[in-house]
Structure 1
Amino acid sequence: MFKVGAKVVYPMHGAGIIREIEERLAADRVMKYYVLSFWATNMILWLPVEKVERVGLRPVIGKDMVEKVFAVLKEGEEKIHSNWNKRYKNHVDKIKSNDILAIADVVRDLRRREKVKGLSTGEKKLLESARQILVSELILVLEEDEEKVLAMIEEAITIT
């Protein structure tokens, strides 16, 4: 069970903080909820404590993982499928996995593709979503502002 103040990552929404744990009446029974606030969207979400595992809520990475994230951003480009639909589905699946390294893969591959060939509207939205999730977690871990974290990510992604 997470505590108030815990920094967590919710799949497809990014990093947030548990602001409180409250009890609410739902379906004739009292349930505990985490009240999450998200850095990137200013969204508040009530998540039933009993659904944490099912939705994939996880703690933010430790500082030891930051180096691995930036190593992924610097790696050579993954072999991406030439078929747009398959490539898009692959990227969406990686983002939904809530695995920070898989999300870093998506940001790296789409950003490089954007620099070289450009992106479709759907891929641009996907890049923005993946980047927002990545940035939101790195901001909480590194305790840096958005501008600094974005610059660090951009510096790490190089065209090979």
Structure 2
Amino acid sequence: MNINALLDLAKVQGATLATAESCTGGMIATALTDIPGSSAVVDRGFVTYSNAAKMQMLGVSAQTLKDFGAVSKETAREMAEGALRAAGTTFAVSVTGIAGPGGSEHKPEGRVCFGLAQSGAETLTELVDFGALGRDKVRLASRDHALAMLQSALERRTA
């Protein structure tokens, strides 16, 4: 993942970015803001580890959390859309998952859901089962996947 290229593409387009993170705990925002000059495109990041934070900061519905759980494409969608709404950015990416250790039969360790909201376009969601790689590797893989989603969305905008 070339974060410099992602940021350069956003700058050229005049696009702005926000993140909404649960299992990554701010790793996506950190990766973006580690690059000098990223403030030209990175607006803010939300770390919403608890369900209460997801509801309060991003407007995730209590019913969605009850019906689908925090680790679901539905929650990832509402997180991304809530971040986009709150930040007023061009793009918002979200991540929620089970980094481990632990998990269950229905939501195993390494299952991560992503959302990508864009002004004027339908929100994309993805579910990735990274497997029981261990907490650190799942979190890093989730960070990289979210950044790749952002880069792909920026590239589609220029196509």
- The two structures have a TM-score, normalised by structure 1, of 0.27
Question: Which protein is richer in helix relative to its size?
Answer: 1
Larger radius of gyration: 1
| TM norm structure 2 | 0.27
